Amino acid sequence: MQTPTYLAAELRLPTNWLDYTILGIYFVVVLGVGFAARASVKTSLDFFLSGRSLPAWITGLAFIAANLGATEILGMAANSAQYGVYTTHWYWVGAIPAMVFLGLVMMPFYYGSKVRSVPEFLLLRFDKSAHLLSSILFAFAAVLIAGVNLYALAIVVEALLGWPQWVAIVVAGFFVLAYITLGGLSSAIYNEVLQFFVILAALIPLSILALKKVGGWDGLSDTLTASRGDDFMTAWGGTGIGDANPLGANWLTIVLGLGFVLSFGYWTTNFAEVQRALSARNLSAAQRTPLIAAFPKIFIVFLVMIPGLVAAALIPRFGTPESGYQYNDAIPYLMQDLLPNGVLGIAVTGLLAAFMAGMAANVSSFNTVFTNDIWARYVVRGRDDGYYVRFGRIITAVGVLASIGTAFLASAFSNIMAYLQTLFSFFNVPMFVVFIIGMFWKRASMKSGFWGLLAGTTAAMVNYFVIYREGIVDIPSDQGANFVSAIAGFVAGAVVMVAVSLFTAPKPTADLQGLVYGTRSPGMAEPPAVGDEAWYRKPALLGWGAVILAAACYIPFSF
């Protein structure tokens, strides 16, 4: 673990009335969207899944915006300042294949089974014990991840605008609470679409001005190659097995730990993302949701990687105590140094939009899982629909308050991405192994889901807290430890699931229709809606196009 996450004390933005006006307009629009969406909330399906009525382009942009939180903005810029072009792996091998797999393979099962959440799928495929454990783990993880976004927002606002952290936390928490409570998931999704464009409006000018500052890409590459070595500006240099590199990982752990286990665990089972696809108006739109999101995901890496690289080029030993800056300072430092007023207001608004999008995605998924999968299933059953809508609004407030309480757990990490990846290895990877085995192996028994999930979570935590943190095995970095933890959690979960399945009864074949590969449910057989049969809307074309484009992006950075 590294030193605490505080932005450099000298970071202060020269904001004026124009910047605050832009920020104020944004907050007014956010609340306006919440009030407008309130009129459409009449049932619990409307509140938690937008009535399954949204078009694919809306859900696709919301899907990617939900990911554009602290993980993406500060975290990936910090990754780039620390590890260089290795950051591309989190996108081209660590996101795109999993997003395509979700759209082409898993969404027909999710959407066709008409589940309202990811844990509910485990109830249908396994039993109540697997469902309850996965619901509790997901709810806990959602609050922790929402807290990361809220904490990141607070430290940035304090450092850049001079607001006390508690003011930033209360203000951001209030606005997220207000628009989700008012309009439910529809409000969150439409605000995420708005936030997506605000974020781009912030990052594009920052990246262009940053490159200009260092003499373009060639000047940036020459500077960092001279100071950090040849491998810093390549994607695969120095990743041979046994080679030393800052990432503390080789090509095998990158491909298996990040590209398969962590990536598939996050993108295919994280309900904060999947919920956006489940709100689509039909199966075709649900499948296209992550596939549409994959295309901007391919290129967003440049908007977060370039600021991190430029910060590392401009300040010697950036990220070390001697420099006075930590890795998370990369984007705020460049905002202070490069942006004029007006553009600065847009950039600050973009940062706040990113943090609020990440927080809102996790809070909206938390209230859905807690209400439907825990409260309505095991605590208060059989009440009228209006009761659960009211309870959903109450638990949203509880989720926001809990996120405030967990926000400062992130302070132990100087690289926010490392903290997020740690959480993903604990919670998403074990859930993924249960899903993937249950979805592709009919013999996986009802009891194997619970024990596989428990074993995977325990193994990942033991590897991180005991083997890595106690120094039993020397792993150079938090990120390298996360890759190993993810692999350990996946292997342990898979082994235990197979062992338990061999000694316990499988689920009757008749109960597996639409839940296991090779079977179908009525919801998976719906004909394409008018217009969805067009060639450019074919999920297979979109999916394989994204994979080929991502692979091609590696070529300029491989030598």
Type of residue numbered 134: S
Give domain status of residue 168, yes or no: yes
Rounded distance between C-alpha atoms, residue 519 and residue 113, angstroms: 11
Q: Is residue 418 part of a domain?
A: yes
Alpha helices for 380-415 (secondary structure H): 385-406
Does residue 428 or residue 167 have the better pLDDT? Answer: 428
Residues 6+ away with beta carbon under 8 Å from 226: none
- Residue pair 275/269 in contact (Cβ under 8 Å)? The answer is no
Residue 10 lies in a domain: no
What's the confidence (pLDDT) of residue 549?
A: 96
Question: Residue 130 sits in which domain range?
Answer: 17-557
Q: Is residue 275 part of a domain?
A: yes
Average pLDDT over residues 106-111: 88
Is 491 domain-assigned? yes
What is the rounded average pLDDT of the residues 340-347?
82
pLDDT confidence tier of residue 530, bands split at 50, 70 and 90: low
Nearest to 395 by CA among 409, 380, 407, 410: 380
Kindly indicate the confidence band of residue 331, based on its pLDDT and cuts at 50, 70 and 90: confident
- Output 220 or 2, whichever has higher pLDDT: 220
Q: Nearest to residue 427, comparing CAs of 256, 255, 254, 262?
A: 262
In a domain, 5, yes or no: no
Alpha helices in 126-250 (DSSP H): 128-161, 165-213, 216-228
User: How many whole angstroms separate alpha carbon 290 and alpha carbon 46?
Assistant: 21
| 3-state SS class at 46 | helix
pLDDT band, residue 241 (cuts 50/70/90): confident
Q: Answer with the residue of higher pLDDT: 422 or 302.
A: 302
Give the angle subtended at the CA of 119 by the CAs of 117 and 124, to the nearest 5°: 95
Average pLDDT over residues 185-190: 78
Does 368 reside within a domain? yes
What per-residue confidence (pLDDT) applies to 6? 42
The average pLDDT across 276-304 equals 93
522 or 261, greater pLDDT: 261
Question: What is the per-residue pLDDT across 67-76, written as a single tens digit (0 to 9) for each?
Answer: 886 567 878 8
Report how far residue 100's alpha carbon sits from residue 260's, in angstroms, rounded to the nearest whole number: 13
**Contacts within 8 Å (CB) and 24+ apart, 52-57:** 52/278, 52/279, 52/280, 52/281, 53/279, 53/281, 54/186, 54/189, 54/279, 54/280, 54/281, 54/285, 55/280, 55/281, 55/285, 56/280, 56/284, 56/285, 56/286, 56/288, 56/289, 56/292, 56/537, 57/292
Q: Say which residue, 515 or 494, is predicted with more confidence.
A: 494
What pTM did the predictor assign? 0.84
- Least confident residue range of 85-94, 438-447, 484-493, 512-521: 512-521
Number of domains observed in the structure of the chain = 1
What's 36's domain CATH number? 1.20.1730.10
Amino acid at the residue 492:
A
Who has greater pLDDT, 330 or 38?
330
For residue 129, the Cα-to-chain-centroid distance in whole angstroms is 26
Averaged pLDDT, 532-536:
75
pLDDT tier for residue 524 given thresholds of 50, 70 and 90: low
1 found inside a domain: no
Q: How far apart are CA 89 and CA 258, in angstroms?
A: 8
CB atoms within 10 A of CB 527: 10
What is the pLDDT confidence band of residue 5, given thresholds at 50, 70 and 90?
A: very low
Question: Residue 376 pLDDT more than 70?
Answer: yes
